[in-house]
């Protein structure tokens, strides 16, 4: 299980009482320090789940945001699980997009991770994200994980 890894000197997540706050997660593979740029950078099972078509013109347009969305939400899932919770414990997401036109594709992926009631959400468009312009989406999450379950 690979949790979100910070790219600088900050915590991937912190517990404050019954709450777990995750730093913003971007699509960078911590093992290789490479940015997820498309379907080729995520597991085959995820590519099939997201609808990779094998058609270059379609996959090159949708692949980057779908792959980054899946990667980011999968890292959030792994991080919440490492803290002792599950995705159903996530009650708030803040989603940052370089282009709000990507939100519909991201939303399709988010439904895979939150099939029931979705978390409360804030969605904003920003002019840039670190470390490069290849980053299309960043998501921060807050989960409620009571110490006494």
**pLDDT for the residue 124:** 97
Q: What is the mean pLDDT of the chain?
A: 92
Q: Could you give the CA distance from residue 65 to residue 31 in angstroms, rounded to a whole number?
A: 21
> Contact 129/26 with Cβ under 8 angstroms?
yes
Which pTM does this prediction carry? 0.91
Note the pLDDT tens digit of each residue in 98-129. Answer: 999 999 999 999 999 999 999 999 999 999 98
Could you give the percent of the chain with pLDDT greater than 90? 81
What's the pLDDT tens digit per position in 49-101?
999 999 998 899 999 999 999 999 999 999 999 999 999 999 999 999 999 99
Q: CATH homologous superfamily for 13-144?
A: RutC-like (3.30.1330.40)
């Amino acid at each position: 299980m690979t949790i979100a890894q910070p790219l600088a000197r900050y915590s991937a997540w912190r517990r404050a009482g019954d709450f777990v706050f995750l730093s913003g997660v971007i699509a960078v593979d911590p093992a290789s320090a490479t940015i997820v740029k498309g379907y080729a950078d995520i597991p085959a099972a995820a590519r099939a789940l997201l609808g990779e078509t094998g058609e270059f013109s379609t996959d090159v347009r949708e692949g980057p945001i779908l792959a980054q969305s899946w990667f980011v939400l999968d890292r959030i899932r792994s991080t919440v699980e490492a803290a002792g919770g599950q995705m159903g414990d996530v009650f708030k997401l803040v989603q940052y997009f370089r282009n709000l036109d990507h939100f519909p594709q991201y939303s399709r992926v988010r439904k895979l991770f939150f099939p029931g009631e979705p978390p409360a959400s804030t969605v904003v468009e920003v002019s840039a994200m670190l470390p490069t312009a290849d980053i299309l989406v960043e998501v921060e999450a807050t989960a409620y994980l009571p110490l006494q379950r």
